[in-house]
Structure 1
């Protein structure tokens, strides 16, 4: 490996879990980055050496952490942070920036949060498997996006297993069941004229309570999740088929082409036709 390696992932509109960039660096003594914020989750794993992380907690107060070999740190979306390599023993680390509709829910089973951003594994074996998956991704940027996303899922699985919260109550909480039911219903019926009331009814709970537990678990409202899901499906159809804009809109649950185009532009910043021309 060279001293620094960096690669941007070609975003293929993966919805549940997506990667944005990844890399590796042997830092110079005192090398620093920040203060900065990220739009997505950014995880660093320290292979050797040591350094300091300064990051805002959930109250916006700056906290300082020492992070050494075998540990890691998570930077959360919108969190102000700075990290600095030690002057005598600078760290060598790998990183992956990732996000997705189910990432917040997944990380909720760990102790990792803005108030506790340092990764401590309770299993040497799982920690090594996590590092292996990160190394694989860093060393195989030429592989297909589906191949790399497969390894990102394995990385996330080892992260969740190795950092599982000791304070976690039963994972069979009813709210988890409702969220799974809701997402399954959306995945199977997004092309139909479904409402949030319909989804809540399938779960057997009222809309207000459903909206609250959905946002707490997923990090966005049911409406936002449904619209995002439909728009990702729309980009697949625009890219892979010769369907008209109206037919694509209809296929993802919008009978009115104007409503579809407006919703699409809200998400992607351009009209469906412009997006199609840019992504031929």
Structure 2
């Protein structure tokens, strides 16, 4: 099996972030799974064919035949197995990603656990999208900002190629509220702020803010605030020699135990262990 596999060198992007990416030219019958993933994975089939076996929204296992020019989306926590055809095994490029704007991408493209297969309506946009995935897989030596630039181009072309945009879930006014909320969090995350404070800045109540925020980003305002703080904490752990307590204080946690607990909930390990792993 001819393949390349790369781990993205940064986890500090918030709207969208790459985690891993690669290219595989599978041998006949090559199988991966059953397995679950922590993030979203998109595979685009360059040639050949294969079968995706994935659980749907009801937990039922469904088989999908996927061929050249198509692709498939895998969701976090979804049980999947995929196997290359015996006669004409597939070759594909893939990206693992996540972030606050992921829900928006899925909605625009129409992906769900009940509809995981990618089928383009624009051949030109599909080809450009594939070119971006190939470029990412072949240029791992480029900087994280460079690769993320191409990943954003991929996401845009993915949406263009399906050519079936969904009606916006929020009005222009609610978009304004969300932008104001995010700006307030980004400028005040290091302070002792609450979601009531965020809602007050926007001039709306907490319940309405929570509803439109989750619709737009897939996360509650509280989850966004915690994730943003932990992302900033990870930057400080990696780039400075500040103590764990000082870093916790710098991202809004006066209690070091509370900070360590929140960090572990997001990253799966303690701040000290994360720093050791990323030195």
TM-score, normalised with respect to structure 2: 0.88
Partner of 2:125 in structure 1? 126
Aligned pairs for 1:74-223 within 5 A: 74-166=73-165, 168-170=166-168, 173=171, 174-223=173-222
State the distance in 2 between where 1:278 and 1:92 align. 33
2-structure distance, mates of 1:5, 1:265:
31
> Is contact 1:111-1:164 (8 Å) kept?
no
Q: Alignment RMSD, CA only? A: 2.4
**CA gap 1:274/1:24 in 2 versus in 1, 3 angstroms:** closer
Partners of 1:7 and 1:141 within 8 A in 2: yes
* CA shift digits 1:36-76 (9 cap, x unpaired): 21111111101111222221111112222221111111111
Alpha-carbon distance in 2 for matches of 1:81, 1:265? 27
Structure 1 counterpart SS, 2:108: coil
Structure 1 residue runs without a partner (length 5+) = none
The Cα of 1:269 is off from its aligned counterpart by: 4.7
Q: Which moved more, 1:119-128 or 1:80-89?
A: 80-89
Structure 1-normalised TM-score?
0.88
Shift of 1:175: 4.1
Distance (Å, rounded) in 2 between the aligned partners of 1:135 and 1:123: 18
CA-to-aligned-CA distance 1:113-144 (integer Å, 9 cap, x gap): 11111111221121111111110111112222
* Cα pair 2:169 2:216 within 8 Å, conserved: no
Residue 187 of structure 2 aligns to a residue whose secondary structure is helix
What are structure 2's unaligned runs of at least 5 residues?
Answer: none
Task: After TM superposition, give the deviation of residue 109 of structure 1 in Å.
Answer: 1.7
Distance 1:124 1:228, change over 3 A: same
The alpha carbon displacement at 1:202 in A equals 2.7
